[in-house]
Amino acid sequence: MDKLAIGPGLKPGTVTLSMGPSERVSALASAKGCSTEDITVCILDRPRHEDLIAEVRSTGAAIRLITDGDVAGVMHCAEPEITGIDMYMGSGGAPEGVLAAAALKCMGGQFFGKLLFRNEDEKARARKAGITNFDRVYTRDDLVRADVIFAATGVTSGSLLAGIKREPGWVTLETILMRSKTGTVRRMTYKSPVK
């Protein structure tokens, strides 16, 4: 799935998948009333993104490359004042795109995704699932149509959650729990005894 995400409080259509990467950066900077140099874009560090990275760099925008966890990368767009990330761009797994859209449904923000097909077998699987328009751009609300609860617990440490910490007799875990109906976002750190 080709993915694009921005945070809350921006007019619908501020950025779209039909725009080129540099056009997206310029449009977001204009909407935020800042320079393109003040925009930070999160991109999954993969060879397939070399041209994307080069085009974003040409705008003067900062880039935060991540080695994995594009769900977290999308979620960071919802809290730019904390994370410093204004936009997410790039391709990755479609299931992760749905998870990211669910998180943004709770946190606020815009998400756009378009399925990418590598071969006819993948198109046949999509047809079997009822997908007939292979060029459709899915919004956050297309992917997550009703209220949703999103929960994630860190296993390994990442930019969003701390990983499991083992101590003599205890294991410490960190979880984020969000609900779209109320807009609540809770972070919990808890210890569990090891038996």
Q: Is the pLDDT confidence value at 187 over 90?
A: yes
The predicted model gives 114-132 an average pLDDT of 94
The residues pairing with 5 across neighbouring beta strands, listed in sequence order, are: 88, 111
In the DSSP assignment, the letter for residue 82 is H
At residue 142, what are phi and psi to the nearest 5 degrees? -75, -40
Looking at the fold, whether 123 and 161 belong to one and the same domain comes out as no
Looking at the fold, whether 60 and 136 belong to one and the same domain comes out as yes
- Three-class secondary structure of residue 1 per DSSP: coil
Whole-angstrom distance, CA of residue 76 vs CA of residue 82: 8
Q: How many domains does the chain have?
A: 2
pTM: 0.91
Looking at the fold, whether 163 and 186 belong to one and the same domain comes out as yes
| Strand order across the 2-6 sheet | 62-66, 40-44, 87-91, 2-6, 110-114, 137-139
| Per-residue pLDDT reduced to its tens digit, 12-71 | 999 999 999 999 999 999 999 999 999 999 999 999 999 999 999 999 999 999 998 889
Domain range for 101 is 2-145
38 touches 17 (CB < 8 A): no
Looking at the fold, whether 133 and 163 belong to one and the same domain comes out as no
Q: Any idea how long the chain is?
A: 195
| Per-residue pLDDT reduced to its tens digit, 68-119 | 888 999 999 999 999 999 999 999 999 999 999 999 999 999 999 999 999 9
